[in-house]
Amino acid sequence: MDWLVNTLYYVVPFVVLLGILVFVHEFGHYLMAKFSGVHVEAFSIGFGKQLWGFTDKSGTRWKISAIPLGGYCQFLGDADASSSTSDTAELTEEQKKKAFPYQSPLKKLLISVAGPAANYLFAILIFASIFFFLGKVEYPAVVGNVIPGGAAEKGGVLAKDKILKVNGKEVSNFEEIRREIDLNNEDKISLEIERAGKIINLSFPLMVMDMPENMAVNNGEKPRPMLGIQSVSGVEIKQVDMGLVDSFAEAVRETWNITDITLRGIGQMFTGKRSSDEVGGVIRIAEMSGDITKEQGWLSFVMFMALLSINLGLINLFPIPLLDGGHIVIYVLEMVFGKELNEKFKDGLFKFGFAVLISLMIFATWNDIVRLIHRWFA
């Protein structure tokens, strides 16, 4: 019976989460295509065999497919779901007016950008709604993860410890912990923590670290003494009355901060300051969505959805062929040169992009499996 419960906790939230985010992304493409006069032949959530579907009055086939790991909009004139090849041999002159391959590079670019833009707008709407109706989001003063080799690990801090005081001053959220660490002028830091209902006092020296905390905004400071902990993924709500304009402004700032953190983290992986072991895939997403559903409730799940929506939009903007960002680069080049790029050249780019994406998927899946093995046998 336990396996059934775990299935409900992990598989169902994952499928719902991914389904919503994929729908938002593809619906962005769909709306811009309709606005641009391009006919959408199919709108699918998932890949593979169709499980359910219907055809609307405009001739678009809406469907849910068997493999829930993505989705696509297939436009008139496309030979495949990625719009990387075309099939226009049997199109009439009237149909060509609504076929994707015959559109201007600008229209194609706008349709490509619309998917990631929809993900960003969706995240902003989630944040703005929470700020307006509930209040400001804060990360609680609870240790989510202790960075290996850091000061906290050597000082005896454990994951799930709740930090009550830093250097004798009470703290209620992660931002206050960060502030007290920054203001610390001593060689040592003292913490009062709550662990399993018991109060424990610790004192130990900070350490200079190159890797910033996972949920912190790295403003490009030089390496400095740090505690070496990461916040939990759960959130708390601070009762602050925010108007509609202020809520949207704060939501835009939150979205930008998450984008900035993600880009800096990727940059640190390339420079070797951050481990590539942090790269995760669909298994990791399923694991995190299940953990959040079981332990933290609906609000943390919605916040996690907003975070993933930003990541999905951002990743799709990377200039990798087959992703939206790769298409955008091609359309920009076509606008600059005033003509369509050579088909063989584009075909080579898309094959390269496919190889890159498959490699990344294999690498991320391997990291996920290793992480799960460590978790099971910990």
Q: Which DSSP string do the residues of 295-362 spell out, in sequence order?
A: HT-HHHHHHHHHHHHHHHHHHHTSS-TTSHHHHHHHHHHHHHHTSPPPHHHHHHHHHHHHHHHHHHHH
Q: Are residues 195 and 111 in the same domain?
A: no
Contacts of 293 (CB under 8 A, 6+ apart): 9, 10, 13, 301
pLDDT band at 277 (very low <50, low <70, confident <90, very high): confident
Q: What is the pLDDT of residues 302-348, one digit of tens each?
A: 988 999 999 999 999 999 988 999 999 999 999 999 888 888 888 88
| CATH classification of the domain holding 179 | 2.30.42.10
Q: Are residues 254 and 359 in the same domain?
A: yes
| H or E element in which residue 148 lies | none
Q: Are residues 58 and 168 in the same domain?
A: no
- In-domain check, residue 31: no
Sign of the C-alpha dihedral computed for residues 25, 28, 30 and 33 taken in this order: negative
- In-domain check, residue 26: no
Exposed/middle/buried for residue 184 (C-beta within 10 Å: 0-12, 13-18, 19+): middle
The pLDDT of residue 6 is: 67
Contacts of 347 (CB under 8 A, 6+ apart): 84, 85
Q: Are 71 and 23 in contact (CB under 8 A)?
A: yes
Q: Are residues 191 and 56 in the same domain?
A: no
Q: Are residues 222 and 179 in the same domain?
A: yes
Q: Are residues 376 and 268 in the same domain?
A: yes
- Which one of 26, 213, 250, 254 is the catalytic residue? 26
The pLDDT of residue 373 is: 83
Q: Are residues 266 and 372 in the same domain?
A: yes
* Separation CA 344–CA 115 (nearest Å): 26
Number of domains, the chain = 3
The pLDDT of residue 238 is: 65
Whole-model pTM: value is 0.77
Query: Is position 287 annotated as part of the catalytic site?
Result: no
Of 231, 250, 283, which one is at a domain's C-terminal end?
231
Q: Are residues 10 and 61 in the same domain?
A: no
Strands (E), 76-139: 136-138
Q: What is the pLDDT of residues 221-251, one digit of tens each?
A: 445 677 888 876 666 666 677 889 999 998 9
The pLDDT of residue 185 is: 65
Q: What is the pLDDT of residues 359-375, one digit of tens each?
A: 988 988 888 888 788 77
Of 231, 254, 273, which one is at a domain's C-terminal end?
231
Q: Over the chain, what is the mean pLDDT?
A: 84
Q: Are residues 119 and 7 in the same domain?
A: yes
Q: Are residues 165 and 210 in the same domain?
A: yes
Q: Are residues 13 and 127 in the same domain?
A: yes
**Higher-pLDDT residue of 78, 29:** 29
What is the extent of the structural domain holding 11? 1-19+103-134+240-378
- In-domain check, residue 24: no
